[in-house]
Structure 1
Amino acid sequence: MLSRLVPATAMAVGLALGAMPTAASAQPGAAQDRVVPSGAMSRPHPADGVLAANFNQDLGSLDYHELQAARATWIRGFFTMPDADKGDVAATTTIHTILDASRRNYGTVLSLKFPLAQTEMPAPGSAAMAAELARVDKVLPVVMGRVDILTIGNEPFNESRPQDRTEALNNFYETVAEHVIAYRRAHCASNCKTQLYMGALNRLDLPANRTPVVERWLQFVNATPEIQGVDIHPHVPSREAVQPFLDYVLPRLRPDQKFLATEFSLVWYWQRHMTDPIAPEFAQRYGFAADAKVWQVIEAAIAHPFPQQEWNDFLSSSPWYESQKHFLRDQMTAFRATGRLAVAGYGFRQDTVMEQNWGPDKVPWLLNSVFAPYTVQPAPNGQAGRGYAWIDDFRDVQRPADDQHGAEK
């Protein structure tokens, strides 16, 4: 770890957060028909250009005070399908949390993640396919008609073996989609709350990734009336790299279909700057060596979270970061300008995966987060520290109809 002249000291804060609990404090397995808790919101804006708080696999860290502080009225996470074999699906942290948020009238997006990067893609009719569909059948009765959007797949082209990114991938996901559609038709046909999307496509800014398999993926989405659209994940190395996603996907959808962007960020741009030297004025003010690198300062913050002002000063003094601090605002403007955005999701909270095994080659997902509990000390009111710059724009781009829910400053 980087040695510094003036080490940061973590602040011990034990203030209670009040009446609205974190998701982790709620009781799993609660009855599905329980009364909506006090403090629940009125219905959020419909899925038309909204911005959600994205938690990925870490929905258990959801805190309603943090959502309120950011004026978030939609949430998104994913469920890893092998977890369906571990017992009552409704009692898993992910499903319990997203259903609790739904009962509190938050908009909800749930992606079904099939982690197949280490195993052969199941073929339709095989025992492996039957096992995957059995997992799907454990999840659907719990979430269908309760979540607003169910996305079939998370990142199939990352969560598969390279040799399986052929028609084998199409066959698998089309079989799952048809199974989900059949269930929805049989059990949630009349005014079903849950819309279906397919997801998600990555790195379409690279021509090499616009393959016949991706083309067939979009053809299936287009040709299937029950599918409302497709999810994209524009994690990119520059602002300009997002537009190729839209240019490729939107012409291939039906006019009545929309797109999700449940994850988007400049993470590959951040990564290019991990070995940059830090600003001399920051180094001098906070006691870092003059030749310290960006990744080393982040390492120090992980070891001993910084006061909020020090974290803000670190990033605001980094021209590569300061110049992009309105990426969230500007990208939401671009997404909405298409008239086709349903829901976008932005990384809401740092998690343990982001800070583990930190080093110069670690992908710096933690720089995306609206809340930064792993690098920033808690606020005096006990709320998690914040990522620099994001929360104001996150609030400001919420739909006007959502402003009635207010925000904690």
Structure 2
Amino acid sequence: MRKLLALLSLLWLSGALAVSYVVKIEGEIDLPLATYVENAFAEAEAAGASGLVLWVDTPGGRIDAAMKISDVVLESPLPTLAVVKNAFSAGALISLSAEQIAMLPGSEIGAALPINVSPVSEPTAADRKFISAFKAKFRAVAEARGRPVELAEAMVDPEIEIEGLVAKGEPLTLTAAKAVELGVADFECVSLSEALEKAGFDGQTETLEIPTRIKVSRVLTNMYVAPVLLALGLLGLVVEFFTPGFGVPGLLGLIMLGLYFAGGLMAGMSGIVEVSLFLAGIALLLAEMFLIPGFGVAGIGGLAALAASIYLTFGNQAILVGSLAVIIGAVGLFLVLRYLPRTRAAHALVLNNAIDAQAPPRERLSALVGAVGRAISDLRPAGVARFGELKVDVVTDGEYIPKGSFVRVIKVEGARVVVRREEE
């Protein structure tokens, strides 16, 4: 009798201590959110949770992130319940991945047609190949959870027409009542507590809040924030390159690039490979601009390395991020060249002496071979030097020569005057 009472007490305590963990799927679906969900599921399983509840309120987002979350939900050994406030696009896939779906008042699910977003045009539907692949994922998830396959596919493919439900040319979206009626969802509820009760989950819940690190990375990797950080970072370094010493532009550029990389690293979107490719790309472009005449292998390699870094970090959003960065960088460079020279602060940034450089006849330039003069601007490697009364545009073989140094002309190639530093 004593053993029976002890066993009953143990069973009662186990039930009393059982907790359902709530995971929030809110806002745009992105890779940092996928990292949060993966960690939250692992934490809940390690803590011995009795079930996992997905609170879904999202307009959609990245398909690769949604697929990652879907796989985590499908593979979880714990019972799963999706409580839907709104589950559009990628959110629909995540909701369908749960064992049970509860629909809140006024909720909807569906509208999962993949779209391409461009900075210069209206969003357009993805090509048929991509739609087919995403539709296959919806079909696989619906089959795994015993939900109507055709309805799941119709959420993705606007070519599927279902009489009395959805016309050809638009993806399927279901209201709460219709989703339950057609078997896409399991029941309607007015609150989380009612959803838990109807699903047979323990009433005691613990919400796994999104960590601050993930919240920050979601902002930094946003497809409209990341291009700004990237463009301003590169622009700051370009301005710094033409500035004597090391000052504000370089510092701001490094801070912007630091934030750009920090977001990807915190979200698990980028690592040593992506960072190395990016730095290698910058180095190759600088070499092409200032050390190697023309535009050749180094320049092409630099652009390829930068593009690879952005693609590996942002995946199917890489074109949008890269395009926005180029546009923002071009506008920023125009504003710097247009307005900065007019400000007092620009006197330290702009090589005003270069404006006064003379362009003597080529025969006079040829006579300068062996002549010694003084650099009247920093040579990075191009700049201006004075030889007697002449101010001449010159270039070094790649070395940096500070303003005020003596230089000697070592060769003249047409209008190109090459100098090296002369010891005083």
TM-score by length of 1: 0.26
| The structure with more strand, counted as a fraction of residues | 2
Q: Between the two structures, name the one with larger relative contact order (CA 8 Å, sep ≥ 6).
A: 1
